[in-house]
Structure 1
Amino acid sequence: MGRIVVCDTGPLIHLSEAGALEFLEHAGVVLIPPVVKTEFMRNTAGLLLPAWIKIFPVGRSVAAQARKWISADIDAGEAQAIGLAIQEDANWFLTDDGRARRFAESLGLEVHGSVGLLLWAAASGSIKFRAEAHRLLDALARSSLWVSEKVLHEAHGAVDALLAE
């Protein structure tokens, strides 16, 4: 089956806004829980998710655990996505939320965000040209995702090291 990637709502929105959602498909089989689809639709004026993103239900025990995490200040979509990542033994969990990232890492998940996904796409050859990678990083920085100048500068430097043009 290849790499299993579970994603919460943030990266789906941010990558869509940046015109870079297609690179998520290159990362592997992408799974999201139903609540993430609902959040995505609500926050993107009904933009449709691509067919390659699989809506995958969480089991009862995972749903119960996710409810406990929600009461500990983890968003519903993030909690269910973290639960799905554990349930499906995902290789990657994608989130752009700092609290969800730290929590998922504490549970042993390998966590990446939208910027990291674009850097992976450059490193893996999915993004072939330096100018394209820089354009996508800048588009991501203009999206609803807050990216610090430091992180953006470091990401551009990483692209320069990864891609010759």
Structure 2
Amino acid sequence: MAVEAVSDTGPLIHLSQIEKLELLKIVDRLLIPLEVKDEFRKGGSLKKLRELDIIEVKEVKGTHADSAGAMSRKFGLDLGEAGAIVLAKKKGISLIFTDDLDARRAAMMRGLEPHGSIGILLRAYRDGIISEEETITAIRQLHSDSSLYLTSDLTKRAVEAVREFSEAE
């Protein structure tokens, strides 16, 4: 069965900043709202996004666009984040990629399963796509080289999770 997810802009930009955008291939199909594509254009390279053959851009229209607007206002989300949540619900996709805490909360309230950039890296490691060393380096790069706000404590815990997984194998 194909694994599908929906993403907002955060993980796309953050993974692009550390040159790990290809790790989104932990899923077979990744839907993004048109607003996410537009936001990514400002903070990343659309060429890199187009190189990922798993990405499909979808326009959120009609009553779904109204729902996204209302959610944006209610939770203080941008339209890309709200659109991703509405799109996930509309398509029946439970997995959503976001680094925004408010978007995570709103997604969980709607029965979705949010994962951020670190979660994507950990999944790529567990799936054997990248090595332990590459994963730890990428986590540290997210902390030091990307615009994602990560505390030193969260970075340390993520590195420990990688090492614990290695020891458990």
Taking structure 2 as the reference length, what is the TM-score of the superposition? 0.90
Percent identity (aligned): 38
Query: 3-state SS of the aligned residue for 1:19?
Result: coil
1:87 and 2:82 matched: no
CA shift in 2, pair 1:47/1:56, >3 Å: closer
TM-superposed deviation, 1:24: 0.6
Verify the 8 A CA contact 1:11 1:113 in the aligned structure 2.
yes
1:57 to 49, 56, 59: 59
2:158 to 155, 158, 161: 155
Verify the 8 A CA contact 1:33 1:55 in the aligned structure 2.
yes
CA–CA distance in structure 1, aligned partners of residues 156 and 73 of structure 2: 36
Verify the 8 A CA contact 1:118 1:137 in the aligned structure 2.
yes
The equivalences for 1:33-44 within 5 A come to 33-44=33-44
State the aligned residue count. Answer: 162
Structure 1 unaligned regions, length at least 5: none
CA–CA distance in structure 2, aligned partners of residues 140 and 77 of structure 1: 21
Deviates more, 1:92-101 or 1:55-64: 55-64
- Partner residue in 2 for 1:111: 114
- Partner residue in 1 for 2:70: 68
CA–CA distance in structure 1, aligned partners of residues 20 and 166 of structure 2: 18
CA–CA distance in structure 1, aligned partners of residues 31 and 46 of structure 2: 18
Query: 3-state SS of the aligned residue for 1:23?
Result: helix
TM-superposed deviation, 1:125: 1.2
2:148 to 145, 148, 163: 145
Letter in 2 for 1:152: T
Letter in 1 for 2:157: E
CA–CA distance in structure 2, aligned partners of residues 29 and 91 of structure 1: 13
Letter in 2 for 1:131: E
Deviates more, 1:100-109 or 1:67-76: 67-76
More helix, by proportion: 2
RMSD: 1.4
Taking structure 1 as the reference length, what is the TM-score of the superposition? 0.92
Letter in 2 for 1:37: K
Verify the 8 A CA contact 1:122 1:163 in the aligned structure 2.
no
CA–CA distance in structure 2, aligned partners of residues 28 and 14 of structure 1: 20
- Partner residue in 1 for 2:129: 126
- Partner residue in 2 for 1:2: 2
- Partner residue in 2 for 1:26: 26
Structure 2 unaligned regions, length at least 5: none
Which string of whole-angstrom CA distances, capped at 9 and with x for unpartnered residues, describes residues 109-139 of structure 1?
0110000111111111112x22111111111
